[in-house]
Amino acid sequence: MDQPAASQAPVSVGVALLWMTLYLALTTAGLIALTHLVGAQKNGLAMFGIWLLQLILIMGLAGWVNGKMGDRGGALFIVIILFAIYSLVYGLLLGHIPQLFRLRETPVIPLSDAAKPEYAGFDVFRFSDGKVDIRHIQRRTTVARNGRVNYFMAPVLPPDWKSGDPVPAWVAGEDINGNRPGSWDEDWRGGYRIGLETHYQEMVESSGPSHKTAPNAPILTWSKEPKAELLRVAWLEFGGFLLIDAIGLIAVLATVFMKV
């Protein structure tokens, strides 16, 4: 008589949970690492190329683990779909998860020091002076399949800045309704790096001679409490992966009740 396929061999819930846990851990770590090792991905073809690499990772690991989970491998289906969607969403959220494990914050420094080489790898900046120059806001609008996206940038200038001096730091933000960030009107003294984004760097490079940028000038999200806000954003992004992981484990447990 016909023998059941190896991939459909009976597997206990405990064994299936162990293999699903391994798949979830490897895929979550792999997607995050791939996103950040390749770099900024909001430039069309590059973004699509990275997503294809992520899909290969998702499907390759799923094919391997499916054979180990036997008749409970169907639980992988929903997780594969969710990982495929969220790997793209994570790039759109600009990716801040690595800062949960390695966050570097400056002491309170003069704004004019923001672009110094010793702060090139820092994530959070705190300043003793300076303000956003809302008189010189740059705007770029792109048209995507889901509508228009408006990108805004403005220089952050120390009190003694003069026309022609290098800009030590920038603030950036985006909005689909065409409204610049209201936080730029606030007399705050800090921000955190914007994340995986290429439009803003291109805008900095085309800012013109009156606002030439200093080498290593950070591009920031302006914030009253930049460290706390960055960690909150990073945890929300990481929470998306944790939710998928939880769904994967629940899906394995659900196979107990789906048996006839």
Percent of the chain with pLDDT over 90: 60
The share of the chain scoring above pLDDT 70, in percent, equals 90
| Better pLDDT: 215 or 1 | 215
The amino acid sitting at 17 is L
Q: Tokens in use for 210? A: 């009156």
With both helix axes pointing from N to C terminus, report the angle between 13-38 and 76-92 in degrees, rounded to the nearest 10.
20
Which tokens go with 67?
Answer: 């054979």
Residue 169's nearest CA partner among 150, 182, 151, 184 is 184
Candidate from 3-12, 128-137, 158-167 with smallest mean pLDDT: 3-12
Q: Is the pLDDT of residue 260 over 70?
A: no
Average pLDDT taken over every residue of the chain: 88
What pLDDT is stored for residue 256 in this prediction? 79
Give me the residue label for tokens 């023998």.
3
pLDDT at 203: 85
- Which pLDDT does position 3 carry in this prediction? 44
pLDDT of residue 50: 85
Question: Any idea which of 5-19, 127-141, 182-196 has the lowest mean pLDDT?
Answer: 5-19
Q: What confidence score (pLDDT) does residue 175 get?
A: 82
Residue 135 · residue 118 · CB < 8 Å: no
| Token pair listed for 133 | 């120059």
- Residue 127, amino acid: F
Q: Is the pLDDT of residue 180 over 50?
A: yes
Q: Are 29 and 57 in contact (CB under 8 A)?
A: no
Predicted pLDDT of residue 10: 80
Given a cut of 80, whether residue 67 has pLDDT beyond it is yes
Residue 115 has what pLDDT? Answer: 95
Q: What pLDDT does 154 receive?
A: 94
Is pLDDT above 60 for 42? no
* Mean pLDDT, rounded, for 87-95: 87
Confidence of residue 40 (pLDDT cuts 50, 70, 90): low
| Prediction pTM value | 0.85
Q: Are 238 and 97 in contact (CB under 8 A)?
A: yes
